[in-house]
Each structure stands twice: as structure tokens, then as C-alpha cells.
Amino acid sequence: MEKRKFMHLPLIMTVSFLTAFPVLLFPQDCLAGPVVLTNVKVIHASSSGRPHLDPELEHLAGELKSVFKYTSYRLLKVETMKLPFQNRGKVKLPGGGNLAATPLSGTGNRIRYLVAIEESGKLVFSTEIMLDRNRSITIGGPRHKKGYLLFNISGKVL
């Protein structure tokens, strides 16, 4: 009778271990709340030189061209960050500045973001936006090599 009682013990222990293993291995991923996959594309837009369009920007450029007169769109950098809510992700910008994106909260189909741009340690621009989970926003303005820098930001809650 006693033997029968503990018959399933090895099985229970194995299942428990396999369940607990990922938590032990990746405690932050398993125990933390939702993570926001934040994607930042740094684009150089200019009208100097030959017309150019990076294939990765094809879809976005269609939209940008309807507003801007630039003939060249080059993808300088892509940064994808897994950010828990309220955690800031930093992207180093060409020219020495920084872009910081912080997912603040998720409401309905949108993610509330705080985006800040620093140049030489000084905040030059910041905005709070409600970004559609399946779409993106483009922020532009800083001058860079006969053109301007554009930052295309998108987010997805994992």
C-alpha cells in the first residue's frame, strides 16, 4: 500500500522540474509582466545625390514620399528592444544623440509611449503618443549629412 502511494512520485517530480526549469533559467521572461517589442528604424532622408530607396523602407517610403520631397531614403540602423512597460530603451543615433522609447501602458489597440531625443546630453524633443499596435509613427527633424534623420517607431505587446 505504501509503495503504491509513492508510485507516481518520480513522474510528478519530473513534470514539476520541467515546468520550473524555464522559470529558473529565464526568471525575468517568465515572471515579468507583458513585454513590448519595440522597433526603431533610423532613416536618413535627403535630396542630395542619386535617388535611393532601401528595400526595407519600400512600404514606409510610399507614405513618406506623399508628404516629403526627399529623393533618397537610407536605412541607417534598426534596433529591436524587448521592453517591459515603464522600462526605457535607448538607441544611439548617428551624430552622437540618443533616442529613448518608453512603453508606458497598453490600452485597447494602442500602446502609450514616451519618446525622447537627446543631443549632447540635452533633451531637444519629447512626445507622448498612443501608438497603434500594428502600425508605426515617424518622427523627424535632426539634421544629418545634407539631410535629416527620421525615426520610425513601432511596438507590439508580446
Give the footprint of other proteins on this chain (CB under 8 A): 60, 62-64, 66-67, 110, 112, 123-132, 134-143, 148
Cβ proximity to other proteins, 76 vs 116, nearer residue: 116
Cβ proximity to other proteins, 3 vs 143, nearer residue: 143
On whether the CB atoms of residues 138 and 41 are closer than 8 A, the answer is no
Cβ proximity to other proteins, 35 vs 131, nearer residue: 131
Cβ proximity to other proteins, 35 vs 153, nearer residue: 153
d(CA 116, CA 29): 26
Q: How far is the CB of 33 from other proteins (least distance, A)?
A: 22
Q: How far is the CB of 79 from other proteins (least distance, A)?
A: 19
Q: How far is the CB of 107 from other proteins (least distance, A)?
A: 11
Q: How far is the CB of 150 from other proteins (least distance, A)?
A: 8
E strand or H helix that includes residue 20: helix 9-25
d(CA 49, CA 36): 37
DSSP 38: E
**Residue type present at position 63:** E
On whether the CB atoms of residues 128 and 84 are closer than 8 A, the answer is no
